[in-house]
Chain A
Amino acid sequence: MWYKRTIPLILVFAIGVAAFVQEFVPAPWAGRFRENITLWFQIIGSFALFIGLYSLLHMHWTRIRRQTPGWAYSIFVFLAAGGMIAVGLYNEGKGPIIDVAQGTRTWLDRGYDYLIKPCTATIYSSMAFFMASAAFRTFRARNTAAVLMLVAALVVMFGRVPVSEVLGGWLGDPEMFSRITDVLMKYPNLAAKRAIMMGISLGAIAQSLRILLGVERSYMGGGD
């Protein structure tokens, strides 16, 4: 049916062309259009949160209701989410409408600092360990490309630690490894990165055009 698919596709095309054109127009109307559409997206996007909330909480609620294995852990999602929302709405007694004075340390801040921040920082830092196992995985793959990659990685890693200067000193030039690192970063790395970025942009532009022209419409589901 035309209203299920055709109109949304026309909307995609119209907004896409408008987005493209407004960037070339310096007149104030283009700026106002951009500001307003950004505000619209902010409003629409905030409604999307309800979909997210529903999706996650419904999944965990179903697990608890059906008592699937490990269902008890789902209770913690509700406890933590409920707790954060409760302290956020309580807002040190001021309620959800009024902001507390600047600089006040709220319970929501504490929740962020002591529940969210340590988890985020720890997971982020654990990448160092995962990198070691990833490097080991590459080491097991015995082909030229993998070896080339591993050697480049090891050289650059080595070139960035002070001990490389000692080894370099023994070989006659303390800066030997940092020089090799620079050469690797400056030439082959730059060449590949440039080509990848160009390829990505051509691919993304073609993808955009397919979407604008309605050639690619699988994201729109069915119904025409």
Chain B
Amino acid sequence: MEPQAQTTESPMRRTVEAAVMIALGTAFVVASILCQKDSLFGKNANDRIEAVGIIIAAALTLIMYSFLYRDNPLFKIAENVYIGAQLGYGAINTWRLALRPQIYNPLALAPSNQALWDALVFRSVPILLGVLLLTRLSRKHGWLSRYSYSMMVGWGAGMTILVMTDTNILQQLQAAAKPIQAGVTADAGWWANAGAVTGALTVLVGTVCVLFYFFFSIPHGPVGQRVSKTGIWFLMLSFGASFGYTAMARISLVIGRMRFLLFEWLKIPQ
């Protein structure tokens, strides 16, 4: 793939884009005021806040879509607001869901000496490990953080062995362990029977060929290459089918955003 040349922007193009942006911005403000005027200039303070919120949300929606055309200053602002807001929201959630109930409440708000002692005994090790994790911020003492994350790595490794054997090996083997036979119902026609047998054979052959494709330590001879190639075809058919299946689901999400813009921002009666 050849690298694309760094986009050089002509002054003309920049002027046109700036003009379009100003026009769109003005149109957005006018449309927002016209469509949300009842709430914006109403007496209910809550409605006013929600109306401003909807206008901001609509602006962010349109700005985010503008990235499909190209990067632009408004997108850069929206992107940084998005990251910042998400960071702040995540910090507050960590405080509310982890730090406060697990550290602050048991230690700072212990109702009795015994409760404080129990909390200290149980929580001192993880708190120490948490503090050790912060040593990562230092170049010299960063190795101390290994004590903290090595526990998680170990736990993950142990659980992976178990979970993978259960869900992806045994359950798949159980699903694969089926006889290849004609239609189960006695009155199934010749075509249905042939279809059932062919289908089951296809799954069997496909599974074996794709598994073969993943062999690393055996040189693929002429036969092996053929099997491996068949495996690739199965892979591609599968990826294509999966692609098509997901594509249709994503279209409904676009419709969802359009509904927000039309019915909540522009308040078009449904």
Direct contact of A and B (CB under 8 A): yes
Known A44-B151, A114-B53, A115-B60; contact A188-B168, beta-carbon cutoff 8 A: no
Task: Tell whether, in the assembled complex, residue B238 and residue A188 are in contact, meaning their CB atoms are under 8 Å apart.
Answer: yes
* Residue B81 is within 8 A (CB to CB) of chain A in the complex: yes
- A77 and B112 alpha carbons, distance in the complex (Å): 42
Chain B: CB-nearest residue to A89: B92
Task: Tell whether, in the assembled complex, residue B207 and residue A191 are in contact, meaning their CB atoms are under 8 Å apart.
Answer: yes
Task: Tell whether, in the assembled complex, residue A114 and residue B56 are in contact, meaning their CB atoms are under 8 Å apart.
Answer: yes
Closest approach, in angstroms, between the C-beta of B39 and any C-beta of chain A?
14
* Residue B244 is within 8 A (CB to CB) of chain A in the complex: yes
* Residue B41 is within 8 A (CB to CB) of chain A in the complex: no
* Residue B76 is within 8 A (CB to CB) of chain A in the complex: yes
- A200 and B56 alpha carbons, distance in the complex (Å): 44
Task: Tell whether, in the assembled complex, residue B158 and residue A119 are in contact, meaning their CB atoms are under 8 Å apart.
Answer: no
The interface-forming segment of B2-10, B20-28, B132-140, B218-226 is B132-140
The binding surface of chain A is classed by DSSP as: helix
* Residue A163 is within 8 A (CB to CB) of chain B in the complex: no
Closest approach, in angstroms, between the C-beta of B231 and any C-beta of chain A?
8
Write out the residue numbers on chain B whose beta carbons fall within 8 Å of the beta carbon of A150: 240
Known A122-B61, A128-B254, A187-B202; contact A152-B210, beta-carbon cutoff 8 A: no
Task: Tell whether, in the assembled complex, residue B88 and residue A80 are in contact, meaning their CB atoms are under 8 Å apart.
Answer: yes
Contact partner, A204, options B64, B89, B92, B164, Cβ 8 Å: B164
Write out the residue numbers on chain A whose beta carbons fall within 8 Å of the beta carbon of B214: 195, 199
* Residue B30 is within 8 A (CB to CB) of chain A in the complex: no
Closest approach, in angstroms, between the C-beta of A161 and any C-beta of chain B?
7
- A155 and B244 alpha carbons, distance in the complex (Å): 8
Known A156-B241, A157-B244, A198-B172; contact A4-B84, beta-carbon cutoff 8 A: no
Q: Which of B112-138 contact A (CB under 8 A)?
A: 122-123, 125-127, 129-131, 133-134, 136-137
Contact partner, A77, options B84, B175, B245, Cβ 8 Å: B84
Task: Tell whether, in the assembled complex, residue A11 and residue B91 are in contact, meaning their CB atoms are under 8 Å apart.
Answer: no
Contact partner, B87, options A56, A118, A191, Cβ 8 Å: A56
- A26 and B63 alpha carbons, distance in the complex (Å): 54
Number of interface residues of A (CB under 8 A): 126
Produce 1/0 per residue, B56-84, CB < 8 A to A: 11101100110110000000111111111
Task: Tell whether, in the assembled complex, residue A128 and residue B148 are in contact, meaning their CB atoms are under 8 Å apart.
Answer: no
* Residue B186 is within 8 A (CB to CB) of chain A in the complex: no
Contact partner, A44, options B82, B129, B164, B213, Cβ 8 Å: B129
- A161 and B252 alpha carbons, distance in the complex (Å): 12
Task: Tell whether, in the assembled complex, residue B240 and residue A11 are in contact, meaning their CB atoms are under 8 Å apart.
Answer: no
* Residue A30 is within 8 A (CB to CB) of chain B in the complex: no
Contact partner, B56, options A79, A115, A198, Cβ 8 Å: A115
The binding surface of chain B is classed by DSSP as: helix
Closest approach, in angstroms, between the C-beta of A198 and any C-beta of chain B?
6
* Residue B203 is within 8 A (CB to CB) of chain A in the complex: yes
Task: Tell whether, in the assembled complex, residue A110 and residue B88 are in contact, meaning their CB atoms are under 8 Å apart.
Answer: no
Closest approach, in angstroms, between the C-beta of A7 and any C-beta of chain B?
7
Produce 1/0 per residue, A213-224, CB < 8 A to B: 000000111010
- A180 and B99 alpha carbons, distance in the complex (Å): 53
Write out the residue numbers on chain B whose beta carbons fall within 8 Å of the beta carbon of A135: 243, 247
Task: Tell whether, in the assembled complex, residue A204 and residue B160 are in contact, meaning their CB atoms are under 8 Å apart.
Answer: yes
Produce 1/0 per residue, B15-52, CB < 8 A to A: 00000000000000000000000000000000001100
Task: Tell whether, in the assembled complex, residue B89 and residue A108 are in contact, meaning their CB atoms are under 8 Å apart.
Answer: yes
Closest approach, in angstroms, between the C-beta of A3 and any C-beta of chain B?
9
Contact partner, B160, options A56, A88, A123, A205, Cβ 8 Å: A205
Given A4-B146, A40-B129, A152-B243, output 9 extra A-B contacts at Cβ < 8 Å.
A11-B154, A15-B150, A41-B155, A49-B94, A54-B137, A80-B83, A118-B57, A192-B207, A212-B157
Nearest 7 interchain pairs by C-beta: A191-B206, A84-B88, A152-B240, A80-B84, A19-B158, A156-B244, A47-B130
28 A-B residue pairings within 8 Å (CB atoms)? A8-B146, A8-B147, A12-B153, A20-B162, A43-B127, A46-B94, A46-B98, A73-B79, A76-B77, A79-B84, A81-B88, A83-B85, A84-B87, A97-B100, A114-B57, A118-B57, A119-B78, A125-B253, A145-B232, A153-B240, A183-B199, A188-B202, A189-B237, A189-B238, A195-B210, A201-B169, A205-B164, A209-B161
